[in-house]
Amino acid sequence: MSNAYPDSVQFLYALGNEYKTLKLGLDRVQALLDRLGSPHRDCRFIHVAGTNGKGSTCAMLESALREAGVRTGLFSSPHLVEPTERIRVAGAQVSRQDFAAAFDEVHRTALAMIRKGELDGHPTYFESIAAMAFLLFRQHAVGIAVLETGMGGRLDATNVVDPLLAVLTPVDFDHEKFLGSTIPQIAFEKAGILKPGRPAVVAIQRPEALAVIEQRARETGSPLTHASSWRAEDLHQHAYGNSFTATFRDYATPVELPLIGAHQVDNALTAVAALVHLGIAPEHISNGLARVQWPGRLECVRRDPDVFLDGAHNPSGAAALARYIREFHTNRAGGGRVWMLFGAMNDKDLKVLAPLLFPLAHELVFTTPNQTRAYPAEAIREITGETRARLIASPSEALERILAEARPQDAVFITGSLYLVGEVRPLLVP
């Protein structure tokens, strides 16, 4: 087994980038799962789709369910450091041995089906790892698994389940090449996770997205709960989290949320609405949200100076980060400066991201994440015209230089890509 895990990871990576090699459609993954004994039918699921906040909402749901005594599963993407992060059981990522064994079963089954003409090709990276998650959830006798879609919804490889509950987080622009160039088109794809007669919780949405979601709910007969009916009363937002009371009619539960940023309040209200619908007790909701962790998403990993990791890689994510910096760090005590270490993949629109983030930085450094799809640091400066930025190609060297120069009252933000966050996080978190 010593080489099994590295070999499985190498093969998955060799399948290609999970978005560039994406093959939308359910036929292949459905056939594969049927041959594997339909593990996706041996567990109850909460299925979560959306553009923003779906990962942190999933983390909140899983944490509260675990507090309530449920043996939980969590399937999420992307990972920051190790692919095992994508599949969690009872709050812990699966072992390398379990990951490798699940891969081997999926891979052997796929090859046998290809030889018999039952598959048109090997399952993609995302299809493979989704099938592995279903196998591991069955193997570990998971009671309820929280299942995050990869990108869309309707044709996403996770959309083979008949969920206990569907959750739709805010819909915004991202992956337009696959999902459509308008908000209604994207919302149509996301709302494809709604199943006949199965209830759904919908977060606060743009009106044009909500109209599409409500139409889909009418077509499927899905009872729809609007998280917008919930309120965050006595809200106190600070640089390291949020506290408030989640209220709806005569229901109220206190929330001490360690996740940072105003946008996490709305995500938490969506999670609370879903958990209340599932009958989770208020104390379990409060305890679960107080203990939730979601690495790499506006995560403070060090103090004096404060160091934050945030994989803000689309306009709405960058706007949320910008709001947070303006509110808590633009006028820091003691004349503290804002440092920004930025790296991005070459499918991102830098001319949209740059004006949102770069003007907020007193000190700006461009770097090149260790990914074939990464923009070289020089290209970021050329495209954005940001001549005041320093160029340090190596993310680890850039981080070392920044920490050597930053003062205790400064704040350092490492952002632009989850790949960059995943590369530097092990240097900051033991």
Mean pLDDT by 10 residues, the chain (430 residues): 83 73 78 98 97 94 98 94 96 97 97 96 94 98 97 93 98 72 93 98 97 98 98 96 97 96 95 98 98 94 96 86 93 86 94 96 97 95 96 98 97 96 94
* Torsion sign, CA atoms 175, 178, 182, 188: negative
Residues of the chain with CATH 3.40.1190.10: 4-290
Candidates 3.90.190.20, 1.10.579.10, 3.40.718.10, 3.40.50.12280; CATH matching 299-428: 3.90.190.20
Helix (H) or strand (E) holding 324: helix 315-328
**CA 426, CA 65: separation in Å to the nearest integer?**
28
**What's the full length of the chain, in residues?**
430
The predicted structure's pLDDT at residue 202: 98
CA neighbor of 397 nearest in space, from 421, 375, 365, 362: 365
User: Is the bond preceding 430 in cis, omega lying within 30 degrees of 0?
Assistant: no
Query: CB–CB of 176/186 below 8 Å?
Result: yes
Neighbour count for residue 10 (Cβ, 10 Å): 10
What pLDDT is stored for residue 23 in this prediction?
Answer: 60
CB 335 within 8 Å of CB 360: no
Q: What is the pLDDT of residue 129?
A: 97
pLDDT at 1: 45
**Domain 4-290 indexed as CATH 3.40.1190.10:** yes
The per-residue pLDDT for 416 is: 95
Rounded Cα distance, 51 and 55, in Å: 10
Please list the residues that pair with 330 across neighbouring strands: none
DSSP class of residue 221 equals T
Q: Where in the chain is the domain with CATH 3.90.190.20?
A: 299-428
CA atoms of 365 and 339, how far apart (whole Å): 8
- 3-class DSSP state of 132: helix
Strand ordering across the sheet containing 363-366: 299-302, 306-310, 411-415, 338-342, 363-366, 390-391
